[in-house]
Structure 1
Amino acid sequence: MVQVVSLGVTVSSRIEERLSRGELNQAQVADYRDFLKEIDRLFLHDSIIVHNPYTHWFQAGVATDAELKHFIRQFSVFSNQFLLAALLKAINAPTLQQSRASREILLNELGVIYRKVKDTGNGELVVTELDREREGDPELVSTEGTVDGGICRFRAAHFEWLVKVAEGLGMSFAEIGKRKHGSLSTLHFCDELQRLYGSEDPQIAEGASFAVENWAAAGFWQELEDGLFHIKQSRHPHLPVAFFTWHNRVEAQHAGHTVEELESVYFQPDFDRLKFIQGGREILDAIAVFWTGLDRDRLSTLD
């Protein structure tokens, strides 16, 4: 069973500091704590997060080449079509800060490399240069920092990493990533990402974003990585899997950012708890459709 990333009942030190400064009162913090419990129950204990039958099966590394190719093709459609949802999220962001946060994800997806930021000790933040040999290699490229001032490399685009995986299985660029390659369940997920994650309603979008990033941090990447390493060791020794290992490392950071985003909007007068929950619940349903579709496909005969 997947280890669930749980928010629990503890508010962050950032909230405690705002309380001590008088920016928030005890009643507001108590209300926020209750809300965290609610989304922990409704989001992070959703069945597709707690136990995903497909990724649990995949983890054993028993997928045939036909099953593996089908998985990569469907995952490539989701990965490539996610760019549209991420662009909509940036376009529809209600504040400049949220726009920048959305663009961080989108530009990194497109190949702008994260540059690490360090504190000099005198209150200044300095962005360090990446070593040239790290640029674009998912096994080495940083999972932390900012794209601001970063270097764009075509081969650092996440989809290009996935192309390498496909090529390792004898598939070409033309065989992956397009809508025409997607099953009905995959395309439903892609369309729901655009509708919810990229929603013009900031409350819906925030809830969907929170659910998506915490789903991604809850363990499915580890199950995929485990399964691929089994396959790599048993029959495809040259299969590049760094697309999956890089995402497995970075997703906890993304989930942490969604908590900061929630803190920034929750105490605003126009925050709508019901819409936030609606966005999260509906995108989790779409995620379940995607994985259930893959599980159904594996139980049938693949061409």
Structure 2
Amino acid sequence: MTFHQEMRQLVLGHGAINNSYLDRFQAGNLAEDEFCEFAVEFYNFARFFPQILVAQLVNTEDEQIADELTKVLYSELGDGHSRHRHELLYRDFLRSMGIDIHNAMTRGMLPSTRAYIEGMEQLYRDGNHAKALGASFGLENMAITMWDHLIPGLMHVKVSRFPQLDITYFTFHRELESSHEAAMEHAMEAAESMNSDGMSGGDRQDFRCGIIAVLDYLHGFWIGLDRREPPSHHRSHDMHHYHAA
């Protein structure tokens, strides 16, 4: 097994994409308040991810790796088409649910969401380039599995509760992920080619640590959303603040 295959296996077996919340989401088994909470909390990822990518790009020394990271960033920004900027597509999703964009942007994150966003940013800007690249590899290689859980659940909600639901952000991402995976594979190949013997044992360990760290943060994000018990009165009241008056 190659190092790339080993790391892919590590990603695909992680709890970040193998957990009860994603299973419930895939089956459309979320209460309306849970679904609205997901929509607003996930928006924080959609809007901050380009900033996180820039932090990694400007801290990457190797130009071949930087080229591959640039491809992912350019894709996030719409590949030259401003209306395809991913964060704007996500706003269309929120609007189709009647969620006010200002409220979604200004509402405080759940602690688990903040830990995910801030942890990911720290990993991507890490001066340890192998660790930062591992984090990026982990996130891009889990993505297809994540979308394949989210999209069926979104379709179920669209059919059963929100016929006007605009899920273009999610389906658009699913179509792009193979190219993002390829970019990370090429970046990993560039890292391996920097030395005749490939990445050193220490770099490989750091790369692995980066994968595990970013996926642990993502796993924590899902756990933070996994609320099976009925919401408290305070929590239910908060849900009204997602929507425009």
TM range (shorter): 0.7 to 0.9
1:18 paired residue number: none
Distance 1:79 1:87 in 2: 14
Larger Rg: 1
1:64 paired residue number: 31
Per-residue deviation, 1:84: 2.0
1:290 paired residue number: 221
CA deviation map 1:76-133 (0-9, x unaligned): 012112222111011111122322322222233233x3xxxxxxxxxxxxxxxxxxxx
Which SS does the other structure have where 2:16 is aligned?
helix
Per-residue deviation, 1:300: 4.7
Q: 157, 164, 182: which is aligned to 1:238?
A: 164
2:10 paired residue number: 42
Please say if 1:201 is aligned against 2:135. no
Per-residue deviation, 1:73: 0.3
Distance 2:5 2:65 in 1: 24
Per-residue deviation, 1:152: 3.4
Q: Which moved more, 1:260-269 or 1:219-228?
A: 260-269
Check whether the contact 2:28–2:156 (CA below 8 A) recurs between aligned residues.
yes
Per-residue deviation, 1:214: 0.7
Q: 50, 59, 64: which is aligned to 1:97?
A: 64
Correspondence list, 1:1-303, <5 A:
9=1, 33=2, 35-36=3-4, 38-49=6-17, 51-111=18-78, 113=79, 151-153=80-82, 155-178=83-106, 180-217=107-144, 219-269=145-195, 271=200, 272-295=203-226, 297-301=227-231, 302-303=235-236
CA deviation map 1:33-63 (0-9, x unaligned): 2x345424433322333x2211110112232
Distance 1:220 1:40 in 2: 14
Q: Residue type matched to 2:100 in 1?
A: S
Distance 2:230 2:115 in 1: 20
Q: Residue type matched to 1:247 in 2?
A: H
RMSD: 1.9
Quick one: structure 1 residues 256 and 104, their matched pair in 2 at CA, closer, same or farther if it must change by over 3 Å? Answer: closer
Per-residue deviation, 1:277: 1.0
Distance 1:105 1:262 in 2: 14
Distance 2:29 2:169 in 1: 20
Which SS does the other structure have where 1:47 is aligned?
coil
Structure 2: unaligned runs, 5 residues or longer = 237-245
Check whether the contact 2:72–2:183 (CA below 8 A) recurs between aligned residues.
no
Distance 1:83 1:182 in 2: 18
Check whether the contact 1:77–1:181 (CA below 8 A) recurs between aligned residues.
no
Using the size of structure 2 for normalisation, the TM-score is 0.85
Using the size of structure 1 for normalisation, the TM-score is 0.70
Q: Residue type matched to 1:55 in 2?
A: L
Structure 1: unaligned runs, 5 residues or longer = 1-8, 10-32, 114-150
Quick one: structure 1 residues 280 and 263, their matched pair in 2 at CA, closer, same or farther if it must change by over 3 Å? Answer: same
Which SS does the other structure have where 1:48 is aligned?
coil
Distance 1:167 1:78 in 2: 17
Per-residue deviation, 1:220: 1.6
Q: Kindly, what percent of the aligned residue pairs are identical?
A: 29
Distance 2:6 2:150 in 1: 29
Which SS does the other structure have where 1:236 is aligned?
coil
Quick one: structure 1 residues 300 and 207, their matched pair in 2 at CA, closer, same or farther if it must change by over 3 Å? Answer: farther
Distance 1:91 1:258 in 2: 17
Which SS does the other structure have where 2:29 is aligned?
coil
Check whether the contact 1:74–1:181 (CA below 8 A) recurs between aligned residues.
no
Flag the structure with more relative contact order, 1 or 2, with Cα contacts below 8 A and sequence separation at least 6: 2
